[in-house]
Amino acid sequence: MSSDDLKKDESTEEVLIVKKTLAQEFFYFLKTFGIIGLAIAFVIGQAASGLVTSFVDDIINPLIGLFIPAGNLDAVSIQVPNISGGTTEFRIGHLISSIIDFMIIALVVFLAYKQLSRFKLVDDKTIPEKK
């Protein structure tokens, strides 16, 4: 039960309980927790992630591939013999590519946060609260 559900009558100090419909509670939930903004941010984040992944796969990996014998960062792997006589492949290049992808996305999010906090559009959690 939220504070909006309770209404106080100042003269008698009685608390009245107001019943809300499911739709009213749902819209209150959306408004209170910013779900619509979160959904929009998720969709934009997915698109940005695809863009950064494409940048890493199509530009960064071939550039690094110019300096390694495999020719492409994604192609770098380690072959290790396993118990059954076959080989197991550890795709080290793919891991490094994914780390680069993550670091670029983390940097973009950090820079966006810094700009938003500079213009006071988000609360800067790094500054201690004054008491």
pTM exceeds cut of 0.75: no
Instruction: Please check whether residue 76 lies inside any domain of the structure.
Output: yes
Instruction: Please check whether residue 38 lies inside any domain of the structure.
Output: no
The total domain count for the chain is 2
Q: Are residues 52 and 109 in the same domain?
A: yes
Please give the Cα distance from 8 to 109 (Å, whole number): 44
Q: Are residues 26 and 84 in the same domain?
A: no
pLDDT for 104 beyond 70: yes
The region of weakest confidence among 4-8, 62-66, 116-120 is: 4-8
Q: Are residues 52 and 114 in the same domain?
A: yes
Q: Which residue has the higher pLDDT, 83 or 130?
A: 83
Instruction: Please check whether residue 28 lies inside any domain of the structure.
Output: yes
What digits encode the pLDDT tens for the residues 19-66? 888 888 888 877 777 777 788 888 888 998 999 999 999 999 999 999
Indicate the pairing of strand 14-17 with strand 6-9. antiparallel
Q: Within 13 Å, how many C-alpha atoms sit on residue 76's CB side?
A: 17
Q: Are residues 20 and 63 in the same domain?
A: no
Instruction: Please check whether residue 57 lies inside any domain of the structure.
Output: yes
Q: Are residues 15 and 68 in the same domain?
A: no
Domain harbouring 64, CATH code: 1.10.1200.120
Q: Are residues 71 and 121 in the same domain?
A: yes
Cα 72–Cα 78–Cα 51 angle in degrees, nearest 5: 40
What's the domain range around 118?
43-131
Please give the Cα distance from 92 to 96 (Å, whole number): 6
